[in-house]
């Protein structure tokens, strides 16, 4: 663990956005996440990699308390957002999720118009005073998601009518519209074709300017392409966490090396 | 020979055919099963099917064709009768009476053919066997009745002979074809397949039967009562002495008013219950509450009718209508609507529950991930996504409400009125169908025939609702499959 | 707020006003849901308790045992013990015998109020009693000359008095009963003569006329319903299963098949009364089958039940995994053999469950039966099948309706009682269906 601290200093990012300490997750009697400590930095893309079932998605869903919606799921330990424990009793997950947005594996636009999809978050959180302000946010979000030029003439068309890649970018626009501080992405490209994947990856890189991005991915190439820092999960344990370049070129843990070289996975 | 005996005889032939056919197949193969194309049972089955099925089909066909053929021929004997329907029912009664007289040995067949209405007192003799006639019998009518009886007897004999002949022919045909190389399995399987198709056509035949019987009698109705009055008049006032006013609007108004109240009760309760059970309730609560609500759909409507009559009606009258000066009747639109609303709660809730459950979890995740509360997710994501399906469910419930009979018969009242006061007794299309068609019905008066026009209206109305609802629900299901 | 200014967010630990409002809205919404579920369940409870509450009384009836001397000189004037000659003594004669027997008992015990006429005392006895006494004597002429203990039902008003339906005040205004008679009944009860006891005749007796609610029973209706269920089962099950097999396994995907499917779905939602019109027009007017007969009722209910059975059977057939079909086809079975030897037996529990539910629906159906003459007053039991299928009969739900159409409130109690019997049958059928499903349900 001390080694990890060393690599951290080499990253040129500023502050710690999210700090997780001794996080345990249980599904019923299954111990899904064991003793995970992670610091996620602001304005950085952090990638979670690891074989299927290693707990990376589960851990991601802890960060905005999406696991609350699953009855049998129990989370222990501390996860701090800007120093505040998000699992504190006083915290309302609804307020938390406005600050920690999420994009899912499969594009899941609501069966509404493109405009209404993007406007959904700001509306429910009451972040706008009038229509003009909302228009502004919708446009800005769609631009951030690199979708504006494709859909600006058909904002009233249903979001479900877009292509897969466009749908996923719409979901990203929807997530950034509430101006979150952290954006969680759960394998955002796994349902997309290579061209759409390239577009979304490019977008993730741009999003880094404003947000702290955490991305779960199956593809090590993707992690290498988009992230500055990488965490490797294995069987519910955080095996290694460090600068992406270091993880891929010079892994310290033999398990990481086996995974990267394709021996486990 | 009675029908039962005839049917039994055909069955015996078929069963015998099975064993004989099987036997013959075995003997042609000289006991060597391998020489047969099919298992010996299939040879027997072929014989049995060829014996029984054409014979029974013939029997059913004959039974349906005979009345129409005989009636047209007898009707020719009665020229110039104004109310042919009424006269024909007398003819039938007299023929039945003659049968009874002969059966009890009070008359012989020979005396019947010599009997003449102008010479013997037919009416009193009919009275002896419990057949009441309205007036003395005219000679022409009596002759027609004798002819009717003769034709009927002839038809009966003819059918017996024909059915038995069909059975024997089928038996012989199938039996003679048995050779070792005869493809008995294929033949009998094709035969069975024809039977399966015939069974699935019963549903079509039912619809055709419904439409034909409704349309046919409705045309008769419009021959004696102007269609314009039926569709445009605002009064419903049947008089059995003639001069009835049979405007459908008061009935339609009553029907819609009751259904509207029922939906106003059932839609909010059913929908909220469905939402709660699908989105909020724990597994335990769901496992208890859902079947309990569904029991409401399994309770016969007569039970709801009685509930309206003895509990809800008096309660509404005593605690609402009378104190508020809105009426003194315990049957009212409100009574029927409220009780019907309870009945259709499960129609709304069950189907809505299925539909809400079909909304993919990813949409819920998307909404929660953005920080929406559960109710916001329900209202703004799930309901809009499920809306078409829910609309379909509500339309089906509406169709139930419009066609419901017993609750309105016992709860809504019988007075046809165009009123806005929900505590007043009003009546519906179904109530009037029941009241015009129960008891002794003579199919010649507009007061009776109007029931068919009402039935056709009701059928048309619900048909449209059902089909629209089915199409919507089907489209919706496809969307998420 | 724009995307840029997110630096001064409030702490997560404090709920902002909007979140509070949203949480309140959430609570309200949840409350609406609970309210809706409770309202639905409450409606069920009120419905059942109301019917049970008013119907349980029908199973208990006020009755008393009366020592009756069967005087041969009155009841068999010729003295030959020949039932045909004895039949000349009408129910009126037997009524007098009963009246005198009762008058003798109450006078002897000193229960009768001053100046009460014998006839008034006799009015306490059910008007049905003379007929049943007469039938008893005609069936067994040896009883003549003996004194027997005869079980007599009390008149409906007297019964109503003990069940709280009739009061002294209402009797003042009632031409059928007087307060004096009620006092006599009260006295008889105190003397231990009258009792309220279980009344099996409610299940077995036929219907009775307007003035004899105490002896009205459900015998004919139960028999009629049973006959109809036999017909429905015999017709709807084979036709329904055959149609489902064709549609599920053989039918080509074309417009005609589609038409049949839409048709079946629609038939399932056609108002039941329309089936009654069909029955009236086709089976009674055209085919001239007898009115009020279980055969016509059974045919109409068959057509109504078919869609339910077809829908359930198709679901059951669909649930059999294709791998089983492939296995049978793979060893060279024909398609027909595959279906009849493998698919159908596996689907059987589902088919039976659907059939029982369809039958339960048919058993409770009322409206179509009204139109085919089942409302007629039928006092004679139908004969044994198959002839009995053509005899006039009643049906349980229609009997309920019939009871409600009579003016004496005693019939309301009987209507509710009939519903209890109906619900017991339905409950049994549904429990059977659930057990079948539990016992044989397979998941692949």
Helix (H, G, I), strand (E, B) or coil at A32: strand
Residue C141 has pLDDT above 60, yes or no: yes
Number of other residues whose CB lies within 10 A of the CB of residue B428: 34
Same domain, B120 and B45: yes
The domain that contains C410 carries what CATH number? 1.10.3720.10
Nearest CA in chain A to C12: A91
Q: For residue C404, give the nearest of B374, B403, B410 by CB distance.
A: B410
Same domain, B260 and B120: no
Same domain, C245 and C365: yes
Structure token pair of residue A139:
């446009």
**In b/e form, how buried is each residue of B28-41, taking b as 16+ CB within 10 angstroms?**
bbeeeeeebbbebe
Same domain, B18 and B72: yes
* Chain B neighbors of C264, CB-CB under 8 A: 203
What is the predicted pLDDT for the residue at B85? Answer: 66
**Considering only A62-66, B201-205, B259-263, B445-449, which range has the smallest mean pLDDT?**
B445-449
Query: Do the domain assignments include residue B300?
Result: yes
**Considering only A110-119, B72-81, B385-394, C269-278, which range has the smallest mean pLDDT?**
B72-81
Contact B365 A66 (CB under 8 A): yes
Last residue of a domain, one of B205, B226, B249: B205
To 5 degrees, how large is the angle CA B178–CA B179–CA B180? 125
Last residue of a domain, one of C199, C232, C249: C199
User: Distance between CA B215 and CA B392 in Å, rounded?
Assistant: 28
Kindly report, residue by residue over B239-286, the tens digit of the pLDDT.
776 778 888 999 999 999 999 999 999 999 999 999 999 999 998 999
Same domain, B194 and B273: no
User: Distance between CA A79 and CA A66 in Å, rounded?
Assistant: 13
Contact A136 C22 (CB under 8 A): no
Helix (H, G, I), strand (E, B) or coil at C228: helix
Structure token pair of residue C414:
């009987």
Same domain, C187 and C258: no
Interface-testing mutation among B284, B286, B370, B479, with chain A (most A C-beta atoms within 10 A): B370
What is the predicted pLDDT for the residue at C104? Answer: 87
% residues pLDDT > 70 (chain C): 97
* Chain A neighbors of B383, CB-CB under 8 A: none
Residue C4 has pLDDT above 50, yes or no: no
Smallest CA–CA separation between C258 and chain A, in Å? 29
Cα–Cα separations (whole angstroms), residue B254 to A208, B144, B228, B427, C264: 66, 46, 20, 5, 29
More confident residue, C72 or A102: A102
In which band, very low, low, confident or very high, does the pLDDT at C5 lie, cut at 50, 70 and 90?
Answer: very low
Residue B353 near residue B290 (C-beta atoms within 8 A) = yes
Residue identified by tokens 């409400």 is B401
Query: Do the domain assignments include residue C387?
Result: yes
What is the predicted pLDDT for the residue at A1? Answer: 36
> A245 Cβ partners below 8 Å, 6+ apart?
none
Mean of pLDDT values over A114-128: 92
Q: For residue B452, give the nearest of C277, C367, C430 by CB distance.
A: C277
Work out the mean pLDDT of chain B and round it to a whole number. Answer: 86
% residues pLDDT > 90 (chain B): 37
In which band, very low, low, confident or very high, does the pLDDT at B93 lie, cut at 50, 70 and 90?
Answer: confident
Same domain, B52 and B184: yes
Q: For residue C12, give the nearest of A81, A125, A136 by CB distance.
A: A81
* Chain C neighbors of A88, CB-CB under 8 A: 12-13
More confident residue, A154 or C145: A154
In which band, very low, low, confident or very high, does the pLDDT at C443 lie, cut at 50, 70 and 90?
Answer: low
In which band, very low, low, confident or very high, does the pLDDT at A263 lie, cut at 50, 70 and 90?
Answer: low
More confident residue, C78 or A215: A215
Q: With residue B246 as reference, give the H or E element that holds it.
A: strand B245-246
Query: Do the domain assignments include residue B81?
Result: yes
More confident residue, C199 or B133: C199
Same domain, C85 and C224: no
Kindly report, residue by residue over A175-201, the tens digit of the pLDDT.
999 889 999 999 998 888 888 888 889
* Chain C neighbors of B434, CB-CB under 8 A: 273, 367, 370-371
Residue C400: closest CA among C427, C431, C360, C367: C367
What is the predicted pLDDT for the residue at C444? Answer: 60
In which band, very low, low, confident or very high, does the pLDDT at A265 lie, cut at 50, 70 and 90?
Answer: low
Nearest CA in chain A to C10: A95
Smallest CA–CA separation between A261 and chain B, in Å? 34
* Chain C neighbors of B310, CB-CB under 8 A: 50, 54, 412, 416
What is the predicted pLDDT for the residue at C170? Answer: 86
Q: For residue B370, give the nearest of A69, A106, A174 by CB distance.
A: A174
* Chain B neighbors of C307, CB-CB under 8 A: 203
Nearest CA in chain C to A130: C1
> B112 Cβ partners below 8 Å, 6+ apart?
B98, B101, B102, B146, B149
User: Distance between CA A203 and CA B349 in Å, rounded?
Assistant: 44
Query: Do the domain assignments include residue C144?
Result: yes
Residue B406 near residue C367 (C-beta atoms within 8 A) = yes
For residue C332, is it left (φ>0), alpha (ψ between -120 and 50) or beta? Answer: left
Kindly report, residue by residue over B187-211, the tens digit of the pLDDT.
888 889 999 999 999 989 999 999 9
> A65 Cβ partners below 8 Å, 6+ apart?
A86, A87, A93, A96, A97
Number of domains in chain B: 2
Query: Do the domain assignments include residue B212?
Result: no
Residue C424 has pLDDT above 90, yes or no: yes
* Chain A neighbors of B384, CB-CB under 8 A: 110-112
Work out the mean pLDDT of chain A and round it to a whole number. Answer: 87
User: Distance between CA A211 and CA A206 in Å, rounded?
Assistant: 9
Residue A6 has pLDDT above 50, yes or no: no
Same domain, B364 and B256: yes
Same domain, B149 and B252: no
Interface-testing mutation among A58, A111, A179, A190, with chain B (most B C-beta atoms within 10 A): A111
Residue B432 near residue B416 (C-beta atoms within 8 A) = yes
Edge-first strand listing for the sheet containing A212-216: A84-85, A73-81, A16-27, A30-41, A237-243, A229-234, A45-49, A212-216, A182-186, A100-103
Q: If contacts are CB pairs under 8 Å, which of residues 202-261 in chain C contact chain B?
A: 238-240, 242-243, 245-247, 250-251, 259-260
User: Distance between CA B15 and CA B20 in Å, rounded?
Assistant: 9
Compute the count of residue pairs across chains A and B with CB atoms less than 8 Å apart: 68
Residue A97 near residue A174 (C-beta atoms within 8 A) = no
Last residue of a domain, one of B205, B221, B251: B205
In which band, very low, low, confident or very high, does the pLDDT at A67 lie, cut at 50, 70 and 90?
Answer: confident
* Chain A neighbors of B359, CB-CB under 8 A: none
Range of the domain at B399: 237-479
* Chain C neighbors of A137, CB-CB under 8 A: 2-3
Smallest CA–CA separation between A36 and chain B, in Å? 22
Residue B295: closest CA among B346, B258, B329: B346
- At residue A185, φ and ψ (nearest 5 deg) are -125, 120
Mean of pLDDT values over B383-393: 89
**In b/e form, how buried is each residue of B355-390, taking b as 16+ CB within 10 angstroms?**
bbebbeebbbbbbbbbbbbbbbbbbbbbbebbebbb
**Considering only B234-238, B473-477, C1-5, which range has the smallest mean pLDDT?**
C1-5
Mean of pLDDT values over C125-143: 86
What value of ipTM does the predicted structure carry?
Answer: 0.90
**In b/e form, how buried is each residue of A172-204, taking b as 16+ CB within 10 angstroms?**
bbbbbbbbbbbbbbbbbbebbeeebbebbbebb
More confident residue, B465 or C72: B465
Query: Do the domain assignments include residue C53?
Result: no
More confident residue, B63 or B346: B346
User: Distance between CA B426 and CA B416 in Å, rounded?
Assistant: 5
Query: Do the domain assignments include residue B352?
Result: yes
Structure token pair of residue B264:
């106003």
Nearest CA in chain C to B300: C364
DSSP A27: E
Contact C397 B459 (CB under 8 A): no
Same domain, C136 and C227: no
Query: Do the domain assignments include residue B66?
Result: yes
What is the predicted pLDDT for the residue at B32? Answer: 78
Kindly report, residue by residue over B310-368, the tens digit of the pLDDT.
999 999 999 988 888 888 888 999 999 999 999 999 999 998 998 898 889 999 999 99
What is the predicted pLDDT for the residue at B40? Answer: 83
Cα–Cα separations (whole angstroms), residue C309 to A221, C121, C235, C236: 57, 57, 11, 8
Same domain, B247 and B201: no
What is the predicted pLDDT for the residue at C6? Answer: 44
* Chain B neighbors of A98, CB-CB under 8 A: 370-371
* Chain C neighbors of A132, CB-CB under 8 A: none
Residue C418: closest CA among C46, C45, C162, C54: C54
Cα–Cα separations (whole angstroms), residue C388 to A45, C93, C224, C292, C302: 85, 33, 9, 12, 18
Asked if A175 has any chain B CB less than 8 Å from its own CB, the reply is yes
* Chain A neighbors of C3, CB-CB under 8 A: 137, 140-141, 144, 176, 179, 210
Kindly report, residue by residue over C359-404, the tens digit of the pLDDT.
999 999 999 999 988 888 888 888 887 778 888 899 999 999 999 9
Nearest CA in chain B to C22: B373
Query: Do the domain assignments include residue B228?
Result: no
User: Distance between CA C378 and CA C386 in Å, rounded?
Assistant: 19
Same domain, B127 and B255: no
Q: If contacts are CB pairs under 8 Å, which of residues 16-35 in chain C contact chain A?
A: 16, 18-19, 22-23
Same domain, B17 and B100: yes
In which band, very low, low, confident or very high, does the pLDDT at A8 lie, cut at 50, 70 and 90?
Answer: very low
Asked if C281 has any chain B CB less than 8 Å from its own CB, the reply is yes
Q: For residue B371, give the nearest of A97, A106, A111 by CB distance.
A: A97
The domain that contains B248 carries what CATH number? 1.10.3720.10
Cα–Cα separations (whole angstroms), residue B96 to A169, B130, C102: 83, 11, 47
Cα–Cα separations (whole angstroms), residue A138 to A116, A170, B60, B370, B474: 9, 11, 71, 15, 35
Contact B370 A97 (CB under 8 A): yes
What is the predicted pLDDT for the residue at C379? Answer: 84
Compute the count of residue pairs across chains A and C with CB atoms less than 8 Å apart: 47
Residue C7 has pLDDT above 50, yes or no: no
Residue C240 has pLDDT above 90, yes or no: yes
Same domain, C66 and C114: yes
Same domain, C195 and C304: no
Kindly report, residue by residue over B154-190, the tens digit of the pLDDT.
888 888 898 889 889 988 888 888 887 888 888 888 8
User: Distance between CA C70 and CA C150 in Å, rounded?
Assistant: 11
Same domain, C154 and C246: no
% residues pLDDT > 70 (chain B): 93
User: Distance between CA C210 and CA C407 in Å, rounded?
Assistant: 8
Range of the domain at C102: 62-199
For chain A, list the domains and their CATH numbers: 2-107+183-260 (3.40.50.300)
Helix (H, G, I), strand (E, B) or coil at B140: helix
Interface-testing mutation among B92, B303, B346, B472, with chain C (most C C-beta atoms within 10 A): B303
What is the predicted pLDDT for the residue at A7? Answer: 38
Contact B196 C29 (CB under 8 A): no
Same domain, C241 and C172: no
* Chain B neighbors of C274, CB-CB under 8 A: 210, 214, 403, 455, 458-459
Contact A110 B384 (CB under 8 A): yes
Same domain, B256 and B186: no
Number of domains in chain C: 2
Contact A98 B367 (CB under 8 A): no
pTM, entire model: 0.86
Residue A138 has pLDDT above 80, yes or no: yes
Kindly report, residue by residue over A210-234, the tens digit of the pLDDT.
889 999 998 888 999 999 999 999 9
Kindly report, residue by residue over B121-147, the tens digit of the pLDDT.
777 777 776 676 766 777 778 888 888
């Amino acid at each position: 663990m001390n080694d990890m601290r060393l690599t951290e200093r080499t990253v040129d990012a500023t502050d710690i956005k999210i700090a997780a300490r001794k996080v345990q997750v249980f599904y019923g009697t299954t111990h899904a996440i064991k003793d995970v400590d992670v610091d996620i930095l602001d304005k950085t893309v952090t990638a979670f990699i690891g074989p299927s079932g290693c707990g990376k998605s589960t851990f991601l869903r802890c960060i905005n308390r999406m696991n609350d919606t699953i009855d049998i799921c129990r989370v222990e330990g501390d996860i701090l957002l800007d120093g505040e424990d998000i699992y504190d009793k006083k915290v309302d997950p609804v307020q938390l999720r406005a600050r920690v947005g999420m994009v899912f594996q499969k594009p899941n636009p609501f069966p509404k118009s493109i405009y209404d999809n993007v406007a959904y978050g700001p509306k429910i959180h009451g972040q706008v005073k009038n229509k003009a302000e909302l228009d502004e946010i919708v446009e800005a979000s769609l631009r951030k998601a690199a979708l504006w030029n494709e859909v600006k003439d058909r904002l009233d068309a249903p979001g479900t009518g877009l292509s897969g890649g466009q749908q996923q970018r719409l979901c990203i626009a929807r997530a950034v519209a509430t101006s979150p501080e952290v954006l969680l992405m759960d394998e955002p490209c796994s349902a997309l074709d290579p061209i759409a994947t390239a577009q979304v990856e490019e977008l993730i890189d741009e999003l880094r300017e404003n947000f702290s991005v955490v991305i779960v991915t199956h593809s090590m190439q993707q992690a290498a392409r988009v992230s500055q820092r990488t965490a490797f999960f294995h069987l519910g344990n955080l095996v290694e966490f460090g600068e992406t370049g270091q993880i891929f070129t010079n892994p310290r843990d033999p398990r990481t090396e086996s995974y990267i070289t394709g021996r486990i996975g | 020979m009675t029908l039962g005996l005839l049917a039994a005889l055909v069955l015996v032939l078929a069963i015998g055919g099975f064993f004989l056919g099987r036997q013959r197949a075995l003997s042609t193969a000289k006991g060597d099963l391998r020489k047969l194309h099919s298992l010996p049972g299939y040879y027997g089955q072929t014989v049995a099917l060829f014996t029984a099925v054409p014979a029974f089909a013939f029997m059913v066909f004959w039974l349906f064709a005979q009345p129409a053929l005989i009636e047209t021929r007898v009707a020719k004997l009665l020229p110039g009768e104004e109310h042919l329907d009424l006269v024909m029912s007398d003819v039938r009664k007299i023929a039945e009476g003659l049968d009874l007289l002969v059966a009890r040995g009070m008359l012989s067949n020979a005396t019947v053919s010599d009997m003449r209405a102008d010479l013997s007192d037919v009416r009193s003799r009919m009275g002896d066997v419990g057949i009441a006639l309205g007036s003395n019998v005219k000679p022409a009518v009596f002759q027609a009745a004798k002819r009717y009886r003769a034709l009927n007897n002839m038809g009966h004999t003819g059918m017996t002979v024909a059915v038995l002949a069909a059975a024997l022919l089928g038996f012989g045909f199938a039996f003679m074809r048995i050779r070792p190389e005869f493809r008995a399995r294929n033949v009998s399987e094709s035969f069975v397949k024809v039977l399966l198709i015939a069974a699935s056509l019963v549903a079509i035949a039912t619809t055709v039967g419904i439409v034909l019987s409704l349309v046919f009698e409705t045309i008769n109705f419009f021959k004696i009562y102007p269609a314009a009055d039926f569709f445009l008049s605002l009064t419903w006032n049947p008089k059995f002495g003639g001069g009835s006013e049979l405007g459908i609007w008061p009935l339609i108004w009553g029907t819609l008013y009751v259904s509207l109240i029922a939906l106003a009760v059932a839609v909010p309760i059913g929908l909220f219950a469905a939402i709660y059970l699908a989105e909020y309730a724990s597994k335990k609560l769901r496992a208890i509450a859902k079947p309990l609500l569904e029991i409401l759909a399994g309770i016969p409507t007569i039970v709801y009718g009685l509930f309206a009559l003895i509990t809800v009606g008096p309660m509404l009258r005593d605690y609402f209508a009378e104190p508020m000066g809105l009426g003194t009747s315990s049957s009212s639109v409100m009574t029927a609507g409220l009780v019907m609303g309870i009945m259709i709660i499960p129609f709304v809730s069950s189907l809505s529950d299925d539909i809400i459950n079909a909304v993919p979890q990813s949409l819920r995740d998307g909404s929660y991930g953005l920080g929406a509360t559960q109710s916001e997710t329900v209202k703004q994501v799930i309901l809009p996504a499920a809306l078409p399906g829910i609309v379909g469910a509500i339309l089906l419930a509406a169709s139930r409400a419009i066609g419901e009979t017993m609750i309105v018969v016992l709860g809504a009242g019988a007075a046809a009125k165009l009123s806005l006061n929900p505590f007043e007794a009003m009546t519906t299309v179904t109530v009037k169908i029941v009241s015009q068609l129960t008891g002794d019905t003579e199919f010649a008066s507009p007061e009776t025939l109007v029931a068919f026009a009402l039935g056709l209206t009701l059928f048309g109305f619900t048909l449209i609702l059902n089909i629209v609802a089915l199409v919507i629900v089907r489209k919706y299901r496809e969307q998420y499959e | 707020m724009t995307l840029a200014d997110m630096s001064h967010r409030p702490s997560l630990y404090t709920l902002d006003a909007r979140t509070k409002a949203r949480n309140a809205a959430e609570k309200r919404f949840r409350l609406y849901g609970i309210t809706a579920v409770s309202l639905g369940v409450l409606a069920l409870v009120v419905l059942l308790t109301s019917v049970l509450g008013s119907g349980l009384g029908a199973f208990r009836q006020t009755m008393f045992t009366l020592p009756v001397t069967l005087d041969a000189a009155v009841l068999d004037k010729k003295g030959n013990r020949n039932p045909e000659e004895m039949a000349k003594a009408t129910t009126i004669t037997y009524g007098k015998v009963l009246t005198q027997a009762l008058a003798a008992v109450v006078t002897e015990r000193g229960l009768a109020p001053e100046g009460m006429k014998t006839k008034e005392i006799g009015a306490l006895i059910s008007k049905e009693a003379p007929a049943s006494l007469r039938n008893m004597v005609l069936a067994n002429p040896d009883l003549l000359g003996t004194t027997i203990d005869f079980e007599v039902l009390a008149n409906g008003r007297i019964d109503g008095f003990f069940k709280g339906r009739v009061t002294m005040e209402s009797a003042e205004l009632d031409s059928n009963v007087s307060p004096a008679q009620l006092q006599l009944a009260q006295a008889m009860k105190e003397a231990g003569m009258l009792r309220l006891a279980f009344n099996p005749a409610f299940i077995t007796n036929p219907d009775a006329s307007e003035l004899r609610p105490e002896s009205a029973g459900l015998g004919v209706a139960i028999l009629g319903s049973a006959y109809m269920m036999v017909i429905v089962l015999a017709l709807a099950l084979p036709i329904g299963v055959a149609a489902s097999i064709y549609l599920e396994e053989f039918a080509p995907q074309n417009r005609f098949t589609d038409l049949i499917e839409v048709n079946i779905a629609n038939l399932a939602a056609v108002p039941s009364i329309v089936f009654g019109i069909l029955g009236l027009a086709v089976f009674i007017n055209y085919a001239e089958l007898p009115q009020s007969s279980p055969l016509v009722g059974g045919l109409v209910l068959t057509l109504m039940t078919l869609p339910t059975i077809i829908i359930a059977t198709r679901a059951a057939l669909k649930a059999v995994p294709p791998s089983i079909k492939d296995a049978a086809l793979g060893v060279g079975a024909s398609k027909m053999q595959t279906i009849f030897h493998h698919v159908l037996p596996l689907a059987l529990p589902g088919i039976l469950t659907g059939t029982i539910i369809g039958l339960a629906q048919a058993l409770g159906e009322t409206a179509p039966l009204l139109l085919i003459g089942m409302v007629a007053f039928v006092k004679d039991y139908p004969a044994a099948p198959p002839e009995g299928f053509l005899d006039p009969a009643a049906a349980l739900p229609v009997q309920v309706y019939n009871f409600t159409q009579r003016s004496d409130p005693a019939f309301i109690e009987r209507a509710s009682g009939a519903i209890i019997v109906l619900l017991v049958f339905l409950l049994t059928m549904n429990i059977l269906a659930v057990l079948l499903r539990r016992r044989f349900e397979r998941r692949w």
